Structure 1
Amino acid sequence: MIGQTIRDLRKLKKMSQSELAKVVGVSQTTVTAWETGKAEPSSSAISSLADYFNVTTDYLLGRPEKKDDNVDYVALDKALDNARSFDGEPMDDHDREILRGILKGYFTTKK
């Protein structure tokens, strides 16, 4: 999951893997390994990435910013199981996680 997040943030900045590697102080091969899930960044690399992309380390790790017990996660997951993408195909895991985050945010602020 962290690899996909790193890739998404890098692409939002329109950076190459080599450019990101220079910013973080690792090799381009290391960035490739992170993005493909073959390796995990060290804690210092996660900290550097969070600073550079202006996100929290929890965001990079895929953790929620805060815990909220008011959201019925079972019902939310059930709804997402039945959701389809625009072309009628089942959503992939990445899109499902994005939509889950949006819906969690919506339901936690709607009280």
Structure 2
Amino acid sequence: MTQFSDKLKLERESKGWSKTKLAKYIGVGLSTYANWEYGVSEPDIETIKKICRALGISADTLLQLSVSSSSSDDLDDVLDDVRSFDGKPFDDHDRELIRVILKRIYSTK
């Protein structure tokens, strides 16, 4: 399975729908839909839009495009790579302020 297929199955199941119901709702055959959940193939962009509308989710959610704020290790890695802004170097205090700001931004998304 792929990340997409896992997310698709999770979102469908959270809505309480069968594969058959979602396939019919978006206008594709059951075998076509099942292949997406099994990771054999993936839908085109227009079909992804239909799936998102049917499930009441964004494409970002389905495709897992949003930046995750759950890992402070990832945030630390990013901040380690950012050493300055506008030619002025960051100190530890600056990095901590940036960390706090980014956590607030991503916790509200």
Q: Work out whether the TM-score is over 0.5.
A: yes
Q: Does 1:35 align with 2:37?
A: yes
Q: Give the Cα separation in 2 of the matches to 1:25 and 1:39.
A: 17
Q: Secondary structure at the match of 2:28?
A: coil
Q: What's the CA shift for 1:74?
A: 6.9
Q: Based on CA coordinates, which of the two structures has the bigger radius of gyration?
A: 2
Q: What's the CA shift for 1:50?
A: 0.9
Structure 1 counterpart of 2:58: 56
TM-score (norm 2): 0.61
Deviations 1:6-25 (A, max 9, x none): 11111112211111100111
Q: What's the CA shift for 1:2?
A: 1.4
Q: State the aligned residue count.
A: 78
Q: What's the CA shift for 1:34?
A: 0.4
Structure 2 counterpart of 1:84: none
Q: What's the CA shift for 1:109?
A: 2.2
TM-score (norm 1): 0.60
User: Which amino acid is 1:50 matched to?
Assistant: C
Q: Does 1:8 align with 2:10?
A: yes
Q: What's the CA shift for 1:67?
A: 8.2
Q: What's the CA shift for 1:75?
A: 5.7
> Match for 2:46 among 38, 44, 47?
44
Q: Give the Cα separation in 1 of the matches to 2:20 and 2:76.
A: 42
Deviations 1:41-82 (A, max 9, x none): 111110011111111111111110x688xx541768xxxxxx
Unaligned runs of 5+ in 2: 78-101
Unaligned runs of 5+ in 1: 77-106
Q: Give the Cα separation in 2 of the matches to 1:6 and 1:73.
A: 25
Q: Give the Cα separation in 2 of the matches to 1:37 and 1:15.
A: 19
Q: Give the Cα separation in 2 of the matches to 1:59 and 1:12.
A: 13
CA gap 1:67/1:17 in 2 versus in 1, 3 angstroms? closer
